[in-house]
């Protein structure tokens, strides 16, 4: 695919292949790894605006940064009340971040029922009010949303224009409706219609698992770049393929991920997280069921590293 930098306010990404936010996965160590493998921009897991306003310890943990991260620092927040969103954007906890992304696409029922995430697509005036308030915090604002709630109610073009009018510097569009969650084909035409309707960069998201997928998504939509989500969980080395970055030794990279994860997080979290990640990385390998069973019996860093030593990537 054709690589290029993307302007987000005063910031310029090193390329147009982004790591999308992934709740439960895109912690600081994983973001650092994906950036090292070629990702042009990475986002935190989605962070509750109200959690920030109420000083939630669990919320603050999502905002960790590795000292060596050299790229643009982007945080994703969610919420449905403009005042809370602005307070969160202006909070001390978000001061280290350069760009604030607003989640308007999360399909999870709990989030949706609270009037947050994808629920904002059904209320364009409130979605605009959220963006306008967050823009007042003084940082570039981006918005991630879907093409609509159901196939019968597609809002991509109008919603894209509304986000631009409200002050968004970039939009990312997941090419599926809320009811499809993460399954089914990506609607190229809807993303293309939004791209034709706005003057800000448009990043296309959905179904990118290979260079071929990314090139098709770009060609069919005219988007300025792509955002990779689930593919990165299973194969973070996809960023090497998409950006032409030389692929390093996989076992060494994953070994560093284990080391850094246990350094940044408590042992219980790190153990559970790395068992889960390695089970993703070995999907499709011969005898992966047996190796997964071994992984989920691991109770320490040493045991996880021992299993890693026997995996043939």
Residues marked active site are found at: 106
* Half-sphere exposure (Cβ direction) of 284: Cα atoms closer than 13 Å: 5
DSSP string, 19-63: EPP-TTT--HHHHHHHHHTT-SEEEEEEEEHHHHHTT-HHHHHTT
Give the whole-angstrom CA distance, residue 52 versus residue 87: 8
Tokens coding 150? 């159901």
- Per-state percent for the chain, helix, strand, coil, to nearest 5: 45, 15, 35
Q: Which long-range contacts (CB under 8 A, 24 or more apart) does 304-307 make?
A: 304/258, 304/271, 304/274, 304/275, 304/278, 305/255, 305/258, 307/278
């Amino acid at each position: 695919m054709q690589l290029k930098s993307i302007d987000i306010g005063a910031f310029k990404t090193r390329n147009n292949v982004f790591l999308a936010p992934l709740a439960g996965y895109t912690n600081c160590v994983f973001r650092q790894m994906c950036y090292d493998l070629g990702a042009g921009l990475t986002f935190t897991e989605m962070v509750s605006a109200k959690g920030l306003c109420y000083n939630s310890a669990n919320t603050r943990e999502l905002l960790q940064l590795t000292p060596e991260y050299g790229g643009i620092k982007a945080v994703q927040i969610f919420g449905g009340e403009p005042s809370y969103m602005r307070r969160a954007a202006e909070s001390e906890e978000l001061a280290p971040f350069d760009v604030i992304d607003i989640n308007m696409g999360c399909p999870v029922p709990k989030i949706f029922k609270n009037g947050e995430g994808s629920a904002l697509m059904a209320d364009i005036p409130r979605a605009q009010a959220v963006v306008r308030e967050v823009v007042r915090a003084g940082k570039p604002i981006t918005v991630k949303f879907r093409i609509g709630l159901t196939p019968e109610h597609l809002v991509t073009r109008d919603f894209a224009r509304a986000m631009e009018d409200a002050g968004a510097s970039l939009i990312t569009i997941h090419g599926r409706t809320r009811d499809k969650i993460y399954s089914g084909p990506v609607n190229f035409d809807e993303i293309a219609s939004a791209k034709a309707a706005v003057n800000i960069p448009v990043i296309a998201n959905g179904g990118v698992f290979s260079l071929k997928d990314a090139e098709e998504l770009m060609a069919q939509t005219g988007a300025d770049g792509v955002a990779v989500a689930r593919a990165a969980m299973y194969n973070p080395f996809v960023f090497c393929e998409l950006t032409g970055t030389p692929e390093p030794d996989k076992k060494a990279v994953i070994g560093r991920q284990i080391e850094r994860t246990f350094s940044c997080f408590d042992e219980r979290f790190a153990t559970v997280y790395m068992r889960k990640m390695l089970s993703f990385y070995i999907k499709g390998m011969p005898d992966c069921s047996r190796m997964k069973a071994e992984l989920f019996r691991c109770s320490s860093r040493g045991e996880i590293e021992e299993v890693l030593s026997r995996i043939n990537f």
